[in-house]
Structures are given as structure tokens and as C-alpha cells.
Structure 1
Amino acid sequence: MPPEFEPWILKAVAECDEHPELTPSLMAAQLQQESGFSTSRTTVSHASARGPAQFVDGIWATYRNDADGNGRADPFDVGDAVIAQGRYMCSLLGDAKTSGIRGDVRRLALAGYNAGWGAVLRFHGVPPQSWADGQTYWYVENIMKMMKDYEGKPLLSVGGSGAGSQALRRAAARIGTPYAYGGGGPAGPGRGYCDGGNGFLGGRRAASSTVGFDCSSLVQYAYWPHAQLPRTAAAQYEATAHRPVSRGELRPGDLLFWAHRNGSIYHVGLYAGDGHVLHAPRTGRLVEVVALDSAMPAGDYRGATHA
């Protein structure tokens, strides 16, 4: 999918944690069906639905938001549109689950998004192909088929059921999310900020326009709420230093730390097994899995802890 959509889709899915049926592949396929991921301000349907997620005024009035923090709630802004799409779909999934209507709740929610929930109630399911020239019927069918185009094998396969494995799996779902200095937290990716020399890329204030994680917010997100780790790498080391782990005893999900020569901790990641680390490296990069010895300067490796 276009890269500008990915962090917002991940954020929208994370917000709807009560309904796991809302997946990134479902939202991506829906955006493909709605507008083909269009970011043009001329993306307006015959029914006056606007923007990449095609909101009509009445629904937009309920779900409008300024997700990208630019001072306006605009259905043409990618962030605002995708977060509103996620919130609307999350609400519709809830309606589907409490309606008593049999069938795939994803299909019911999609039908409600396209035709309105009243139509789903009227037909006690997805409206038939004979209704409204089959618009809603084929809308649902197309999206369900296209979902596979946005699915792939996990970039990291994690076994086990302990807290460390669960945290690593949670973080692995964020592989490919942009690094944003100061961004992110327990709820998922967030907009970063520039502080001194941090957050800049080629002289540009990259962090303030990027939604993602930095190294410590990714670790905090991975373990929340099982272990409510503090926000910074240094504070996470201080909170867990009494549970040190030797390199030969590392387990998936253990915290790995790097420090400057003066001893101050500047980076943290999660042990991913087989001598690798999952981490958010630096501005301009994405959450990734790399060999432990190449993640940061090898001489800066301080050690590992259990969370």
C-alpha cells in the first residue's frame, strides 16, 4: 500500500483492540475499494462522499478528528480519514456483534459502512445482489477478496506463550513502522517531535511529521499492560537492571541496552532470538530485525535484562 497510509492503518487497528476482526489487511482492502488510496482533493463520489475513505457529511460529523495535528479535521487528510474509518468500522463491528444477525461480522460491518446500518437491519444481513444494483453486495465481496493482497507471512515467527514471547509478537506486528523520535507509547504509534539535534533528517524536522515509534516507546508498547515500563531507554534499564541476563541466556523478548562511554543508556531493543534484535533504530529508518552485533556499535552494548 502507499507508505503514507500504513502508519495510520496500524494506529487505527491498535485503537480498536476490542474487535480483533479489524485488521490492517481489511482496512487496506477497504481503502482500495473506496478510493484506490487516492489523496487527491478531487476524490468526491456522485453521493458527495469525500476523501480516501469516502465520508459523507453526516458520518464525518460523528467521526471527524484531527489525527495528524495540523489544526483541521479534514476527510481529505490521510491521517484524519483513516483514523475516522477505523473508528467507524470499530463501531460497526460492535453493532454487528450485538445485533443477533448471523454471519461474518466483517461482512456486516462493511455493508453498514457502504449502505448504512439501517440497510443491514432491514435485510438482516448483507443486502442482496438484487438491491441497489448490487452495489453493497459487490462492495463487500470485492473487499473480502482483496484482503489477501494485503496479507503476507509474518516477518518474524515467534513461538512460546510467556510474557517475553507475547511482547515480541506484539512488537513484530509493527515491523516496518517508521521511527519517530519522541513518538509512540502504550497505545501504539504516535507523532514524534524534534529536540535539539534529535528528530532531524537532512536538515528537515522529520520527527514532527512522522507517526511511529522510537526505541523505548516500541518496547513500552510491546510489554504494555503486562509490564508497565517507563518511557525512556535509560528509565527502562533502571527499572529492570536488578534482573540481568547474560548473553548466553537470552530469551525472546529480553531487553537489550546500549550505552555511551560515560555509561548513559541511549538505546533499547527486544531480543528476537537466534542472535537478532527487533528495534526502532533511528530517524529515517523503520522498525526492523537485525543481527545484534550490527544493531548499534558493538562496543556500546551494555547488557540485557528481563522486563
Structure 2
Amino acid sequence: MKVLIGAVAAVAGLLLIALLSLVSIVLIDNEAKAGETTGGGSEGLHGVPEEFRAWILKADEACDQPAMTPALLAAQLYQESKFKTSREEATSSAGAQGPAQFMPGTFATWGRDDDGSGETSPWDIGDAVMAQGRMMCSLLTTAKNSGISGDIRRLALAGYNAGWGRVEQFGGVPDKNWAGGETYNYVKIIMSTMSRFEGPGVLEVSGSGSGAKALRRAASQLGTPYSYGGGSPSGPSTGSCDGTNGYLNGRCSASTTTGFDCSSLVQYAYWPTTKLPRTAAAQYGATSHHPVARADLKPGDLLFWSHGSTSSIYHVAIYAGDGNVLHAPRTGRDVSIAPLTSAMPEKDYVGATRP
């Protein structure tokens, strides 16, 4: 059912893209094995560590409840453990274990050797996330059929935290006076933070040209944080601050953030087929011999913005089709898809090139 719902939603989304500028990531590589996708499920996902992404999407896909979404699972994992996996950081005072914070007895019910390691463990990301998904799917089903009024996601989250018996006892989410408000606040926080993990939605990339390949490679990094000076052809890395750039809330965020800046993402996307230089200005210089009119843009083309002239180019993005770009926008944001008209100030747009 989940697959069918996702497919119908994707078709409807494609028909509405021109009006709504929505983008979802369904990446189709004609040279890749059939069915291989990158960048999110039907509802989309971003802002999670890469080692969690595939498992969250798999857990979501395995559940037949439409109320289950990747963002719900991601927000819950963030609240449970901040995606921590070490025994020191992901063991609670009550004895809950791993990134999904299972008590041993509960994990015995829901855990499987989903990652094929030969061991079923709450410390293995795959085992933990799939167990979380199974338990949440069951709770969503129970909540839907319970007759208890309210958002079934809230009821399921309360059941995960306090046990379904408490939901029945209170006729809903336990109030803030019960257990110091632990379950009440747990549900409230997860529901309010889901939006930060909701990914963009439908972009179909077909073909085997260098531009399409670069776009697929860049899209694999959706949700990766922006890090000024960070990133290389090998992948994301920590960056550095230069006195002006890389700061967030008065501190040098780049030095502790693993990610990409705008030009390192582009360099990563095209490497090693086309070895572009490191900075946006240098990338313009290396590709400006092949300019592309706005009406002739193709996926993979590079777009540039400047403070007045080509000598002061400050941003580069990759054209993603349908009037959208894929880029690493700025400190505090993640690699994402945005409309070309609003990705950066329209007055700063310089033009596009084709590597």
C-alpha cells in the first residue's frame, strides 16, 4: 500500500510541478540497476546522517500506515539519541540502549538482524531503526483502531515512550503533570521538529550524460550541512572561518560542521569525469567558454551569482530541471533544492555554463 500511495503521489506531483515548484528526489540512472534511487522516499528526507538515511527510508517503506513518514522516524530518533550510536552517549539512566533507545525486553520483541551482521543488536543502526519502524507501525495501527480521539502519530509516539497502556489510561497522550511531563514533552517536541527533516519531493533525472550524472551525485548529498571551506572531491569535511564567512550565532560553525560549501559540492558532483577548480569564481572561469541561455538550461548546468561582475562571483548551483537548482546555500542550512528565481537574489544572477 505504501508503495502504491508513493507512486500515485509522485505522478500527481509531476503534473503540479510547474505551478507549485515542488521537487522530490527520485533519481533514475539508465546505467544503474533498475529501481535504484537516491535522496529520499516518497515523502522525502533530509538533515539526517548518511548512515541513517537508507534505514529510515526502508523502515518507512515497510510500514503500510500512511501516517508513517521518514520525517516522523527521523525526528523521533533525534529526540531519542541525537543520532548517537556509542554506548557512552546512547545509554540512558533507565537502561535504554542504542540510537532508538530500546529497553532490552522491548528490543527482544521488535529487533531483527536487519543488517545481516549475524547479530541482532540495538546498537546496530539498521537493526535499531528497523525495530523502531516496526514498533511505530504497530502503534500507529493500534492508535488508528483504538477509537481514542486525536492525531494517531501523537498517540503512537506516546505509546512508544510510555507504553500503550498509559495511552489507554489517559485516553490520549498523558498530560504534562504525569511523570514530570516526560511523555507530554516527548510528543510535543517530536511533532514540532518533524519539519526540519522533511525533504523535497519529485525530480526525475534520466540519461547518462555528464550533467545528469553530476546531478545524481550531488543529490546523494541532500541534507548534508553547509560548511564554509568544507568538502572536497572525496566528500564532505569540516571547513574553516575567514573572519567573515563560516560563523553562526557568533561562533565558527564551519570548523565543527562536516559538509560542503557551494563550490565544493559542484566540484564533488563532477569529479573525476570533469575536474573543476575549487572556488565558484574559478569554476565560472573554467566553464565560461560554454555559456548557456536561461531558456536552454539542462540538468547539470552550473548557475552563478555575483556582487556586480564576474570577478566577484560568490555562489554556484547546479540546475536540477523544472526551474529548480540544487545547491549548498549558506551557513546554517543544508544541501537542498530551491527555485532558481529565489535560490539567491535575482539581481545577482550572472548566468549559466555547461562544463
Residue pair 1:277, 1:290 contacting (<8 A) in 2 also: yes
What is the deviation of 1:26?
Answer: 6.8
Whether the 8 Å CA contact 2:200–2:337 is kept in 1: the answer is no
1:286 aligns with 2:334: yes
Change (3 A) 1:152 1:7: closer
Matched residue, 1:237: 284
Q: Do structure 1's residue 266 and structure 2's residue 314 form an aligned pair?
A: yes
1:303 match: secondary structure: strand
Q: In the aligned structure 2, how far is the partner of 1:155 from the partner of 1:169?
A: 14
1:72 aligned partner? none
Aligned counterpart, 1:74 = none
Q: Which amino acid aligns with 1:293?
A: T
- Listed as ranges, the gaps of 5+ residues in structure 1 are 1-5, 15-21, 55-105, 116-137
- 1:111 deviates by 2.2
**In structure 2, the residue corresponding to 1:198 is in which secondary structure?**
coil
* Structure 2 residue 117 is the aligned partner of structure 1 residue 110: yes
The question of 1:167 aligning with 2:214 is answered: yes
Q: Does residue 1:155 correspond to 2:201, yes or no?
A: yes
Matches within 5 A, 1:215-254: 215-254=262-301
5+ residue gaps in structure 2? 1-45, 60-69, 102-112, 138-196
Shift of 1:270: 0.5
C-alpha separation in 1, matches of 2:256 and 2:129: 34
Aligned to 2:203, the other structure's residue is in SS state coil
Q: Distance in 1 between matches of 2:260 and 2:269?
A: 11
Alpha-carbon spacing, 1:182–1:107, altered in 2? closer, same or farther (3 Å): same
Query: Structure 1 counterpart of 2:49, which letter?
Result: I
Change beyond 3 A, Cα 1:231–1:109: farther
2:325 maps to what in 1? 277
TM-fit CA distance, 1:51: 7.3
- Take 1:114 and 1:37, find their aligned partners in 2: how far apart are those partners? 16
How far the C-alpha of 1:222 sits from its partner, in A, is: 1.5
Is 2:139 aligned against 1:142?
no
Number of aligned residue pairs:
222
On the 8 A contact 2:231/2:265 being kept in 1, the answer is yes
Contact 1:247 1:303 in 2 (8 A): yes
Cα distance in 1 for residues equivalent to 2:339 and 2:114: 42
The CA distance in 2 between the partners of 1:13 and 1:224, in whole Å, is: 25
Q: Relative contact order (alpha carbons < 8 A, sep ≥ 6): 1 or 2 greater?
A: 2
**Alpha carbons of structure 1 residues 199 and 226: separation in structure 2 relative to 1, 3 Å:** same
TM-score by length of structure 1 reads 0.57
